[in-house]
Every structure is written in C-alpha cells, then in structure tokens.
A and B are shown apart, each in its own frame.
Chain A
Amino acid sequence: MKPLRVFFTGVGGQGTLTATKLLAETALDQGVEVNAGEIHGMAQRGGVVHSFVLLGGYASPKISLGEAHVLLGFEPMETLRALPFIAKDGLVLSSEDPVPPISVTTGREEYPSIDLVKSETLKCSPRAKFLPCLSLAKETGVVQTANTVLMGAFFSMGVLPFGLDILLESIEKRLKPKLVDVNLKAARLGAEYITRDK
C-alpha cells in the first residue's frame, strides 16, 4: 500500500485515543505495517489530544507539520487548529459539532463559526468532509459513540486498504461486549452519511 499518515485531533474525553487504537489494531489484524502514537499532555478531561496512526512502513511515532495525509477531527475548532499538519492534497474528515472550551462556555471568548471552519478547511483540503457526529451518535442512544461515527465514515471512503466491513469486525473483536451494538450502529450511521453525501 501507499504509506499513509493519519492524524487524529480531539478533546480529552471524546474517545479519540480509543479510535486511534482501534484503527491501529485493525491494521495489525489486516497485516498492514503499523505504528501509532499519542500525546495527551496532562491526563485531564477537556484538553487537546493529538494522536497518530502511521500505516505502510513508517518508523516514527509522530507526524510533523505538513505530513498528515489524513486529518481526522473529532472537534471542529481543533480541526481548524490542526490544519498546518495537513500535507499537500491531504484529506480532512471532521465532526461539525462543537465541544466548546471553558473560555467559550463562560462567555469570555467566541467560538469560530462553523462556516469559517469549513471554508478555511476547504482551502487546505478541497475534498474535506464534515459530519454531524454528535447528532448521529445520539441516534444510537449513546452520545459517546460520536468517535465511532467518524471512524465509520473514514473506513467507507476508500482511503484505507480495508473497508467498513473490517471496521465492524474489529468493533466486535476489540470493544467490550456491552459497547459492541451501539458502536456497530454508530459506525454504520457514519458510513451511510458519508456515502449518501457522495
């Protein structure tokens, strides 16, 4: 396969690291060379989380500015902040549902408009796609599955050397039994949304 660097950005508590691990383990199961890394600063909820999955034979556990072939954004403002990591012709796939930081919830600062996030992103990545991850996750009854919604969409875009069916297998194999059904549903919702959008 063509080597692929996937950059994950999100907010602590969103399940960004679970999604990262799921992709890396899926790659291992599929015999794809894989290396992954995560940086979550202080182990508190609410801070920025960056993580990385490197497929196809990289040694480094990190992605530098301008190196990400794919940017997966679990939170739109963090997607915007991470745009300098995107390589030329890179693909952005992001949630469009904000998780506002404390400065915004207390009314001291203003959250950027989603239209601005989208237009700036499209300048960097003309193929960029946005999904209402939180509203789709709510349809499963468990709002915490928003991360899997995004992964469902990602796996069905044809960028990875494996598709949605493999993600569904991985969810059954790798997640705790009580979390499997809602996450299968979430992955399918993300996939349906992105393919319908095509």
Chain B
Amino acid sequence: MNLLDPKGEVRELLLGNEAIVRGALEAGVGFISCYPGTPSSEVPDTFFRLSARGSYYFEYAPNEKVAMETAGAAALGGVPTLVTMKHVGVNVAADPMMTLAYIGTPGGLVILSADDPGCHSSQNEQDNRYYARLAGLPCFEPSSAQECKDMAKEAMELSAKWQQPVLLRTTTRINHLRGPVDFGPMKPAKTRGEFKKDPGRFVPIPAVARIRHKVLTSNLENIRSEIENCSWNKSWGEGKVGVIASGVSRSYLKDVLKSNPAIKVKVLELGIAWPLPENTIKNFLKGLDKVVILEELEPILENDVRVLCQKNGLTLEVTGKGEELPLWDEYSTLCVEQALAKATGIEIKTQELCNPDLAALPSRPPNLCAGCSHRSVYVNTRKIFGDDAIYSSDIGCYTLGILPPLRSADFLLCMGSSVSSGCGMSRVVDNPVIAFIGDSTFFHSGVTGLINAVYNDYDLIVVILDNRTTAMTGHQPHPGVDQALYGLRPGNIEIEPLVKASGVQHVKKVKALNQKAVSTALEEFKEMKGVRVLIAEDPCPLYAKKVLGIKRTKVATIKTSGPASLECLNTLACPAFFKDGETVGVNQDACAGCMVCVQICDEIKPGSRS
C-alpha cells in the first residue's frame, strides 16, 4: 500500500483513520498538527510514519490548544491544514477554535474530532456535533472508509473555498473500521503560502469581532445552500414512514433494510448535517406520516427537525430518542431494526440468543504490563502512604492503577488535571495528597498546574511517572523525547530543569524501577511541606523493546515459593506471575525483566533468560 501514490487508481483496504490521511493528501494538505488521543491517533501516526517521504509538514503538539493555534496560523498563511484530536481534546482547543471561525482560515482548516460513543477509551461520551453548532463549523460525518477519504478531501476543499474552518466528526467505529478505498489523484502538497495582512479581519478586537460574527453567519448561509444539493445528502426509498440518518447510523440502516425487505421506508441520508440543509429536509418530510431520526448520542438532528416542522406547520409525527434509541452508547443494526419495526408496525422475529450463565466468569480488566515502571512506583507509594493519602490521577496508562491491589487513583477530571486538582484537594482536606502525572501529560497541561501550585503555596507531592513516551495512545513522541530517535533534528526538553524553573524547591529524580531510590525520596518528602516533585523515570517496556531496542537479559525466577512470593504476587499483580495451588510461578515468556519483584521479595532471584 502506498498512501503517497500521486496517481491513485488503486483500491486498498484502509483503516478509517488511514483513509482520512489519504483524503487530506489528495487535497494537497501542507501542514498537520495534533495531539494523539484514541480513537484519532492513527491519523497523525500515519502522517508521522510517512513524513520522511511526504512533502507536507507534520508535528506533534504538546496539547490540543497548541495544535489548534499552530494549525490555525498555518491556515491564515494560506496553507491547507489539518489538525486532529479526540473529542475531549476539542474542549482543550475550544478557545482558539471559536475565534478561528470568526476570522476565517484562508488556506483551509479541517479539524478532526474523533468522538467516542460507548466510552471505549474515554472519560465521557460528549457529542461534538454541538461544537459545530456552537462555533459555526460545517460538519462532515463519514460512515465508511471510502467516505473518510472522500469527505476529508472535500472538507479541505470546502474549507479553502469559503475560508471557514470545517469539522470532520468521526466516531470510534468509523476511525477503527477497515474498508476498501478507491484512491483518487493527489494534488501536490502546498506547504508555503502568503499572509495577506488585514487587521480589520484577523485581529478580533471587539469592533472587528462584531463584524466578523455577521460574516460567519452569512458564510454559513452560503455553505447551507451549497450542501442542500450535495451528493452527501441524498434521499432514496419509498413509503409513508421516513428515516433521517447521520454518521454510522446510515450503515446500520442500510444493513437492516437489506435483511428486512418487508420494511418499506423513505430514507434521507445526511453526510453533512450542519449547517442544516433545511430545504432538503423540508421537501423530504412533505407527504410523510412519520419520521424516525437515527443519530448516536444527543437528539440534535431530532430537535432540528422538530423546529423545522413547527416553523413550516408540518404535523407529522417525529420520533427519535427513546427506549430503542438511547442517548448513550453506540447504535447497532439491532436497535435500528427494533426502532424501525416499531415505527412501521412490522413484526420482526427476534433472534434467539445463546445465553450461557456468564455472571460467574472472572472479568478481564486491562492491566499495567509486566515490567511497567508505574507499577513499581505505585507499590512503593502505597507502602509509604497507604490509604491515608488521597491519590489524584490523570489520563494515561497509569490510570489503570485504579484497580486493586495498586489502588492509586482516587479521583480524575481530565488530561493534565492531576496537579491542579490535587492542589484544590490538599487545601480542603487534612490527608496528604499525591498527584500522579505522566511525562506527555505533564507537557500537555500539567506544567501550568505546577506553576500555580508553587505560586499559591500548596502542600502537594507530585510524582511525574516519566516512561519516556506517550504510552497509552501508541508511543508517540512528546517534547521530552529526543527527536534524534526518529531521525529528526536532535533535541528535547528535560523535565527536571523545567520543574526547577517553575520554582519547585524540592525536586528529586530517580529510576522508577529502583525500589530503594523511590522509597528514600518519598520518605523524605513525607516529612516536608510545600510542593515536592519526584520524577520517576524508566522507559515503558513495550517502547524500550520496540523503539529503543533495549533487551532485558534477566528474568525473575522463584527460588523457593513460600509466603513471601505469595505476598509479592498479591502486592504487584504482575501479569507474569501465576498462582499454582499454594506456590507461585513466573511465566518466563511474559516476564519483562524489570526486577522489581526481586527487590521486594527474598524468595525471587534474577535468572538468565533461557
């Protein structure tokens, strides 16, 4: 597969996220910035992987706000630009995004928001179609890999044409589906532009902003007429019952209608539902007795349609959110089938399910990997502070420390929040408060919390779990990672001097896997007041193997299995350990050779890998 093939004319099986990359390339994208976040990460990862051969400019930003600001300015400079993030990342980037819609983006700016209905890997399931309405962004919602490619391209073109930022809104299913994609020709990347100075437009002082708000609404009206008749918004089928569907619901609908020929409905597919194609919808509704709205999460289209009916004196029945079609989680062919059966009065034989008793089955939660340096720090911290301390957690692999026996996450708000919210907690309770934060997360927005902690004189221990990469989203670099590792200009930002420059008096840096070093530092901090920062550094074992090429030659071996090794198994919950009756074993294939167990248990010794 050659995503950079300028000619196209091939058909490849692509991940939705890879298809977005191809679409942007076909439109001549010249500048891409991002902060990784599941399910969006493969978009920037693919650009990064191809960047040595591609002629675009790509970078990872420390957070979404920075990414949006950088990308916005590149678009102001006339370059077709893409900025990518997950749904909650848009919250971080919302400030510059709102104003970019006012001043406009001459080169074209597409904002990818990867939403996560079902919370597969997120802390909430917010519906970012609201952002399209809030900010005034035309919004594309693909439902297949081919549409990911085609819409990414069209969104870039529409954005450049109207000089307005455009939202490409996907969901986890779409980002992570694989489907055939026909490639089109690729425009040469436009990496250099020209900024035409116009302070009366680009400097939104109040007098300018007032005018630009009106320009935005009038631009959206123009775009509305353009999308009324576009090929993404199309009607087909016959019947007195209508169905309006957006996003992935369009795919579920097609499969349901195919497998239930008795269900006769008239369908309106909306690939671009904002600005609302009012005439298209109005014409569709005429002559219908009833309309069902299929959209995951919020009843946004449903409410739009209700308003449209009221404005136009239409009295047909509008149904949407309810028992079959909930406000949470993903839709499926199953729920769409039930909703349509109800609306059309057609009885559908429900599938008999196999229902073995699954209640007693052991659950399988994700666990920190064998050899993970976070486990080492958590075990040590709990040994010293126990249940007395309150543990402020953050977004990353280390959030998995929530589970017993580690139990090192008591509360969590969002990415980069652990330091600031740890401060708030420490001022109102008597317990010691310990904030855990990762290295990427520290650069994302933890450092501003740290500056506040020092300035406002808080009592807080901050533990920076520095595993040298952005582990959870797939090992992307961040400002702390030396770019030379990727064959780029060498250089990185060290965390320790940054912490010191923020005014922290008590800073210690240790190897995270060294139990004695971690505990000495924490014991010392326990007796102090003020802001104390422990940097616990050791690379993520998967990253160490894959990127750094580190081979650990040692393996843990149980010398004699007694109460101590049993206790070690229960303390660490390392996936390489297993209990066999009353004895403990170590699975050599799974052991990563971190040797934390050897440091805390006399019955375990280092051995050589066989």
Assuming the A-B contacts A35-B178, A37-B178, A88-B351, are A62 and B173 also in contact, with contact meaning beta carbons closer than 8 angstroms in the complex? yes
Contact present for A102 and B589 (CB under 8 Å) = no
A61 contact set on B, CB distance < 8 A: 173-174, 176-179, 248, 251
| A123 in contact with B354 (CB, 8 Å) | yes
Most buried by B among A60, A84, A143: A60
- Does A1 sit at the interface, judged by CB under 8 A? no
CB pair A87 B579 closer than 8 Å: no
Chain B interface: which of A40-48, A147-155, A161-169, A184-192? Answer: A40-48
Given A59-B144, A62-B173, A80-B361 in contact, is the A100-B578 Cβ separation under 8 Å? yes
How far apart are A78's CB and chain B's nearest CB, in angstroms? Answer: 7
Cβ distance A187 to chain B, nearest Cβ, rounded Å: 20
Check A81 against B366 for contact (C-beta < 8 Å): no
B interface residues, tally (CB under 8 Å)? 59
A157 touches B (CB below 8 Å):
no
A44 touches B369 (CB 8 A): yes
Q: How far is the CA of A27 from the CA of B330 in the complex (A)?
A: 27
| Interface 1/0 per residue, A45-62 and B, CB below 8 Å | 111100000000111111
Q: Is A110 an interface residue (CB 8 A)?
A: yes
B334 within 8 A of A: yes
Residues of A contacting B366 in the complex (Cβ-Cβ under 8 angstroms):
12, 41-42, 44-47
Q: Indicate with 1 or 0, residue by residue over A101-113, a CB within 8 angstroms of chain B CB atoms.
A: 1111111011110
Q: How many A residues face the partner with a CB closer than 8 A?
A: 59
Tell me if B400 and A59 are in contact (CB < 8 A): no
B residues in contact with A43, CB < 8 Å: 38, 121, 472-474
Q: Is A106 touching B397 in the complex (CB atoms < 8 A)?
A: no
- A133 in the interface (beta carbon within 8 A): no
Residues of A within 8 A of B174 (CB): 61
Determine whether the beta carbon of B364 is less than 8 Å from that of A106: no
Count chain B CB atoms within 10 A of each CB in A11, A36, A61, A88 and give the residue with the most.
A61
Which residues of chain A are near B176, meaning CB under 8 Å?
Answer: 37-40, 61
| Interface Cβ pair total, 8 Å cutoff | 171
How far is the CB of B440 from the nearest CB of chain A, in Å? 14
Whether the pair A102, B254 counts as a contact (CB closer than 8 A) is no
The residues in B between 459 and 475 inclusive whose CB is less than 8 angstroms from any CB of A are 472-474
Q: For A64, what are the chain B residues with a Cβ–Cβ distance below 8 Å? A: 332-334
- Which residues of the other chain, B, contact A57 by a CB distance below 8 angstroms? 258
Residues of B within 8 A of A136 (CB): none
- Supposing A39-B172, A42-B472, A105-B578 touch, asked if A34 and B179 sit within 8 A by C-beta, the answer is yes
Bound: A58/B144 CA distance, A: 11
B51 proximity list for chain A (CB < 8 A)? none
For window 156-190 of A, CB contacts with B under 8 Å fall at none
In the complex with contacts A11-B364, A80-B358, A59-B332 CB distance below 8 A: no
Contacts of B360 in A (CB 8 A): 112
**A62, B332: Cβ atoms under 8 Å?**
yes
CA gap between A84 and B332 in the complex, in Å: 15
Q: Would you mind naming 10 contact pairs between A and B with Cβ atoms under 8 Å apart?
A: A36-B177, A41-B366, A47-B366, A48-B364, A62-B333, A64-B334, A81-B358, A83-B356, A84-B353, A143-B589
Sample of 19 more A-B contacts, CB < 8 Å, known A34-B179, A62-B173, A84-B354:
A28-B11, A28-B12, A36-B13, A36-B178, A37-B178, A38-B178, A39-B173, A45-B367, A46-B366, A59-B255, A66-B352, A66-B353, A78-B364, A81-B361, A84-B353, A88-B351, A104-B362, A106-B569, A120-B356
Interface residues of B (CB under 8 A from A): 11-13, 38, 120-121, 143-145, 172-174, 176-180, 248, 250-252, 254-255, 258, 330, 332-334, 351-356, 358, 360-369, 397, 400, 472-474, 542, 569-570, 573, 575, 577-579, 589
Report which A residues bind B (CB closer than 8 A): 11-12, 20-21, 24-25, 28, 33-48, 57-62, 64-67, 77-78, 80-81, 83-84, 86-88, 100-107, 109-112, 120, 123-125, 143
